[in-house]
Amino acid sequence: MSGIPDQRGRPVPRDVLGPVAPAPGEPAFDDDHPPRRDLVDDCVHCGFCLPTCPTYVLWGEEMDSPRGRIHLMEQGLDGEPLSPSMVAHVDRCLGCMACVTACPSGVRYDRLIEDTRQQVERRHRRPRRERALRAAVFALFPYPRRLRLLRGPLRAYQATGLRALVRRTGLLPRLAPTLAALDALAPPIGRAARVPRRVPARGTRRARVGMLTGCVQHAFFPQVNAATARVLAAEGCEVLILPERQGCCGALSVHNGRRAEARRFARALLDVFDSAGVDFFVVNAAGCGSALKDYGELLADDPAYADRAAAFAASVRDLSELLVELGPVAPRHPLPVTVAYHDACHLAHAQGVRAQPRKLLAAVPGLAVREIADPEICCGSAGVWNVLSPEPAGQLGERKAAHVLATGADLLVTANPGCLLQIASAARRLGRRLPVAHTVEVLDASIHGRGVDELLR
């Protein structure tokens, strides 16, 4: 990557320089990773992707479909400026990658939107309010320690009745829709489960694995990380966690065009784990898994990290992939429960992992798995999309929750913390309580004979 020279004449990468707004009328994209023309040209405009695109489903607007967005990218490559309306259509994309699954021509929309977004973030100056909101979101969410500091105040807010009072007034959604969305999404804050640095394998060691603790997962779902470590250990894995040394993996940043930030996070995580001698690096959050598997591409032009990043990315597994790859050794106890399994977009569309979680769930004695209608359509969580765009996210959430409730299942199971929060909160708005659990919590309950009541609380 070329750039402006520093004081010693060395080129400074553009992603270190910060936003450089284009002059009025300048083409939308500069030469620092613009969306690739050859990938744009792969689109044959057939429209097969349209019915799977959540924004097209919501609004029926061509420019809010994958085909329309690719057309806008083409206009940008042809020299059109980065107009506010072009940015709005790019911003409205959830990055769910349902269009990648649906496309018969193999269009790499994932690459295209990632490159387009980083151009938008560097070259488009948003209105002040939007800038402030985004600054606050990205100063908080990718920082597990800052998120954990919120646990105390949030617990007090929930426990003292203040939350109930705020909700009774009905003012929050009208005065501050983003805060209202955060309030609706916040899970009940229980006791913080501590995750150890290392967990030994039970019985014969079959693999040594590193484990990502994540940001939202670490702060608000520590029980999912604890269950992940227990299940891996029960299946013969030594688990190296090092929670005090881990930070964000960069998923949120890279999926929102903050490439420089994502690269910083990726390098830091590599420094912790790529010399730790692990056979696999395991992830239990879909969005993080898809970003980690792309580290090779993210750091391809960094001579100090490119090879390490590619090797590390090849070792990354979603938890369900690894458990199926290893095969079960821990006996399962019966769990008489009917679950609806929700495909998290970044697991199903971005990583192609659909069969493994179903296989693991179906192998639990007494457990029945029901499928949800329109599984390819996103629930509206999409990283922080539900915080930045609360209204359409709420509509998608309610649509998904209604489909889940229609299955008649006792429990919703999925593999992403954002989806769990989003669908449970949408079900509450529909006047229903929907117990939710991560796939690994179900496996943990079965392996350790804990019974189903704990999952249905």
Contact footprint for ligand SF4 (CB under 6 A): 43-49, 52-55, 66-67, 69, 93-99, 102-103, 105, 107, 109
Note whether 362 and 380 are within 8 A (CB): no
**DSSP state at residue 424:** H
Least Å distance, CB 57 to ligand SF4, is: 9
User: What distances in angstroms separate CA 281 from CA 61, 277, 307, 352, 361, one per listed residue?
Assistant: 41, 10, 16, 18, 22
Least Å distance, CB 284 to ligand SF4, is: 23
Q: Which is nearer to ligand SF4, 323 or 347 (by Cβ)?
A: 347
Cα distance between residue 192 and residue 218, in whole Å? 9
Q: Which is nearer to ligand SF4, 195 or 388 (by Cβ)?
A: 388
Least Å distance, CB 47 to ligand SF4, is: 5
Q: Which is nearer to ligand SF4, 54 or 417 (by Cβ)?
A: 54
Residues 33, 34, 35: CA angle, nearest 5 degrees:
115
Residues 6+ apart with CB under 8 A from 154: 186, 189
Cα distance between residue 201 and residue 439, in whole Å? 20
Least Å distance, CB 234 to ligand SF4, is: 36
Cα distance between residue 303 and residue 42, in whole Å? 30
Least Å distance, CB 68 to ligand SF4, is: 8
- Strand duo 198-199 + 207-211: pairing: unpaired
Q: Which is nearer to ligand SF4, 377 or 411 (by Cβ)?
A: 377
Least Å distance, CB 328 to ligand SF4, is: 34
User: What distances in angstroms separate CA 435 from CA 25, 98, 146, 202, one per listed residue?
Assistant: 52, 26, 27, 30
Least Å distance, CB 65 to ligand SF4, is: 6
Q: Which is nearer to ligand SF4, 105 or 160 (by Cβ)?
A: 105
As given in the structure block, the two tokens for residue 344 are: 């998290």
User: What distances in angstroms separate CA 127 from CA 88, 131, 177, 388, one per listed residue?
Assistant: 12, 6, 17, 14
Least Å distance, CB 70 to ligand SF4, is: 6
Q: Which is nearer to ligand SF4, 35 or 144 (by Cβ)?
A: 35
Residue holding tokens 């899970």? 187
Q: Which is nearer to ligand SF4, 96 or 353 (by Cβ)?
A: 96
In the structure, how many helices (H) and strands (E) does the chain have? 28, 9
Least Å distance, CB 97 to ligand SF4, is: 5
φ, ψ (nearest 5 deg) of residue 34: -70, 160
Q: Which is nearer to ligand SF4, 46 or 373 (by Cβ)?
A: 46
Cα distance between residue 380 and residue 182, in whole Å? 14
Q: Which is nearer to ligand SF4, 56 or 305 (by Cβ)?
A: 56
As given in the structure block, the two tokens for residue 402 are: 């209604």
Least Å distance, CB 103 to ligand SF4, is: 3
Q: Which is nearer to ligand SF4, 119 or 246 (by Cβ)?
A: 119
Least Å distance, CB 261 to ligand SF4, is: 21
Residues 6+ apart with CB under 8 A from 6: 12
Least Å distance, CB 58 to ligand SF4, is: 10
Residues 198, 199, 200: CA angle, nearest 5 degrees:
120
Q: Which is nearer to ligand SF4, 68 or 435 (by Cβ)?
A: 68
3-state secondary structure of 368: strand
Q: Which is nearer to ligand SF4, 57 or 313 (by Cβ)?
A: 57
Burial status of residue 249 (CB atoms within 10 A of its CB: 0-12, 13-18, 19 or more)? buried
Note whether 106 and 43 are within 8 A (CB): no
Residues 6+ apart with CB under 8 A from 74: 40
